[in-house]
């Protein structure tokens, strides 16, 4: 769209222009960040009046008024316009999800190049006037016709997908979770936080002195939690398995111990938690700007999986995607190329997995590959390569060739794309919540929510 101004000489009393704008939640966060106005009344989900109910998020008055400057700067008078003054009378309120229209109408022209315009912002749905006022501007004297400037896009670093998962998990019965060796602040704090949110009921297993000391440093009272004393970390993991077999726990959560020590007792053929599939790890990533959560697998357990292992990796990921509310899991099998190359094993495995899914050997979702990373998640890249499957460009599950690639991809998303990741191990009799020491509180909480949602789907709870 070209921008064309109206010079002072071209303007006439009665000239009018308007600009429509749909107000989004991200607009409110961007305005709060750029203006420094952190009034919780303007941020959705906050309880600004203390009534226990989350606010809808009232659009700040100055944000609504700023829409007027869009009309003045773009259309009337347009490029080259400078403000002299603006009066504002706020007559109503708006919130995210509403469409507003800002209008300006020339009221008078002064001899020194000043133009006065009547301004208003109204709500499209019912015509409610939100803001009225009067603007005095210096109108441009030179004609300008230019292509609309390409303004860099903004991605708000909020994690709405995790927020949605937490909202779905909170009404469910708290998931009784065996927490193995929560002997320092991060691991214990994650379990306590999830308990406060009514997502899990933790059973703490480990060295009681270390656990109580960690609770003291956190300033938390853990007297209401069951605590099973076992100073040996691998032995604590064995107790977690016993609790699952006894029906006392429906999930296991990693505390402050090595992943190998946690999983070794679970892999025991007689007393472990095997049930037929291989254990596979899945990162559920909330990537700002992505339309849905993005699952990355396997990034923590299977180092160089063969085809049979990849079948379980894909099936476990599809099952988890269904549990967290992805209606149609779309698994993109990643390789360096999007065509089968006999010299690249990952491309061969990808093609075989796609065919196996077509034949019903992998169920519950759509599978396509080989796909390079770009044409797995970007529709323009997929179209450029003439890839027109339902998965290409739309994948919400990324199946990597091996652990190296998966670990790198997940950490790139976390530290470069500002994603949060929830870690869960699938393939055991119960979900295993697998957090790392560097995970944030939101990641730990989301991992518990993912496990709770999967358990609820398997058990048919909450339907």
Give the per-residue pLDDT at 51. 62
Domain assignment of residue 463, yes or no: no
Same structural domain, 180 and 236: yes
Same structural domain, 186 and 308: no
Cα–Cα distance, 294 to 296 (Å, whole number): 7
Give the per-residue pLDDT at 24. 86
Establish how many alpha carbons lie within 13 A of residue 173's alpha carbon, considering only the half-sphere containing its beta carbon.
13
Same structural domain, 310 and 241: no
Domain assignment of residue 174, yes or no: yes
Please report, for the domain that includes residue 135, its CATH number.
3.10.129.10
Domain assignment of residue 327, yes or no: yes
Question: Where does a domain end: 93, 119, 147?
Answer: 147
Query: Which pLDDT tens digits describe the chain residue by residue (463 residues)?
Result: 688 999 999 999 999 999 999 998 888 888 998 999 988 888 876 655 566 566 567 899 999 999 999 999 999 999 999 999 999 999 999 988 899 999 999 999 998 899 999 999 999 999 999 999 999 999 999 998 987 777 777 777 668 899 899 999 999 999 999 999 999 998 899 999 999 999 999 999 999 999 999 999 999 999 999 999 999 999 999 999 999 999 999 999 999 999 999 999 999 988 999 988 999 999 999 998 788 899 999 999 999 999 999 999 999 999 999 999 999 999 999 999 999 999 999 999 999 999 999 999 999 999 999 999 999 998 888 988 888 899 999 999 999 999 999 999 999 998 888 888 999 999 999 999 998 777 788 888 999 999 999 999 988 875 4
Same structural domain, 331 and 423: yes
Same structural domain, 238 and 310: no
Same structural domain, 176 and 198: yes
Domain count, the chain: 3
Contact between 335 and 369 under an 8 Å Cβ cutoff? The reply is: yes
- By the 10 Å C-beta count (0-12 exposed, 13-18 middle, 19+ buried), 443 is classed as buried
Question: Where does a domain end: 91, 126, 147?
Answer: 147
Cα–Cα distance, 257 to 255 (Å, whole number): 6
Domain assignment of residue 71, yes or no: yes
Per the listing, tokens 């518990």 go with 448
Give the per-residue pLDDT at 214. 94
pTM reported for the whole predicted model? 0.76
Same structural domain, 138 and 70: yes
Give the per-residue pLDDT at 53. 62
Give the per-residue pLDDT at 48. 58
Domain assignment of residue 355, yes or no: yes
- In the numeric block, which tokens belong to residue 459? 């058990």
298: preceding bond cis by omega (within 30 degrees): yes
Same structural domain, 246 and 166: yes
Q: For residue 73, what are the domain limits?
A: 2-147
Domain assignment of residue 439, yes or no: yes
Cα–Cα distance, 255 to 239 (Å, whole number): 14
Give the per-residue pLDDT at 448. 95
Same structural domain, 270 and 282: no
Question: Where does a domain end: 98, 125, 147?
Answer: 147
Domain assignment of residue 453, yes or no: no
Give the per-residue pLDDT at 149. 74
Domain assignment of residue 155, yes or no: no
Same structural domain, 130 and 182: no
Same structural domain, 21 and 131: yes
Please report, for the domain that includes residue 263, its CATH number.
3.40.50.10950
Give the per-residue pLDDT at 43. 81
Contact between 332 and 409 under an 8 Å Cβ cutoff? The reply is: no
Same structural domain, 423 and 281: yes
């Amino acid at each position: 769209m070209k921008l064309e101004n109206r010079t002072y000489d071209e303007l006439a009393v009665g000239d009018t222009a308007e600009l429509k704008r749909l107000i989004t939640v991200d607009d409110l966060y961007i305005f709060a960040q750029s203006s420094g106005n952190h009034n919780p009344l303007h941020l959705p989900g906050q309880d600004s009046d203390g009534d226990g109910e989350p606010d809808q998020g009232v659009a700040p008055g100055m944000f609504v008024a700023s829409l007027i400057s869009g009309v003045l700067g773009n259309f009337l008078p347009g490029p080259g316009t400078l403000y002299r003054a603006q009066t504002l009378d706020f007559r109503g309120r708006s919130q995210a999800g509403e469409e507003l229209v800002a209008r300006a109408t020339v009221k008078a022209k002064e001899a020194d190049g000043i133009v006065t315009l009547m301004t208003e912002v109204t709500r499209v749905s019912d015509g409610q006037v939100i803001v009225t006022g009067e603007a005095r501007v210096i109108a441009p004297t030179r004609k300008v016709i230019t292509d609309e400037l390409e303004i860099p896009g903004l991605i708000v670093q909020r994690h709405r997908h995790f927020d949605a998962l937490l909202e779905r998990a909170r009404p469910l019965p708290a998931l009784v979770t065996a927490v193995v060796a929560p002997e320092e602040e991060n691991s214990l704090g994650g379990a306590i936080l999830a308990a406060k949110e009514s997502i899990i009921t933790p059973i703490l297993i480990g060295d009681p002195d270390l656990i109580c000391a960690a609770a003291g440093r956190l300033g938390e009272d853990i007297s209401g939690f069951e605590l099973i004393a076992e100073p040996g970390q691998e032995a604590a993991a064995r107790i977690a398995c016993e609790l699952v077999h006894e029906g006392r726990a429906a999930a296991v959560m990693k505390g402050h111990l090595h992943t190998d020590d946690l999983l070794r007792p679970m892999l025991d053929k007689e007393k472990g938690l095997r049930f037929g599939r291989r254990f596979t790890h899945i990162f559920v990533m909330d990537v700002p700007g992505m339309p849905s959560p993005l699952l990355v697998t396997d990034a923590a357990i299977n180092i160089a999986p063969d085809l049979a292992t990849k079948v379980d990796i894909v099936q476990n990921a599809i099952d988890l995607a269904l549990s967290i509310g992805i209606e149609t899991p779309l698994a993109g099998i990643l390789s360096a190329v999007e065509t089968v190359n006999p010299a690249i094993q990952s491309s061969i495995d990808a093609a075989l997995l796609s065919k196996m899914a077509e034949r019903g050997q992998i169920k519950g979702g759509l599978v396509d590959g080989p796909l390079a990373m770009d044409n797995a998640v970007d529709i323009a890249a997929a179209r450029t390569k003439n890839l027109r499957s339902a998965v290409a460009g739309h994948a919400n599950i990324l199946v990597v060739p091996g652990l190296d690639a998966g670990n790198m991809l997940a950490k790139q998303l976390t530290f470069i794309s500002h994603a949060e990741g929830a870690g869960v191990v699938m393939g055991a009799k119960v979900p295993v919540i697998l957090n790392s020491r560097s995970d944030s509180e939101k990641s730990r909480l989301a991992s518990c929510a993912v496990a709770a949602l999967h358990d609820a789907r398997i058990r048919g709870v909450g339907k």
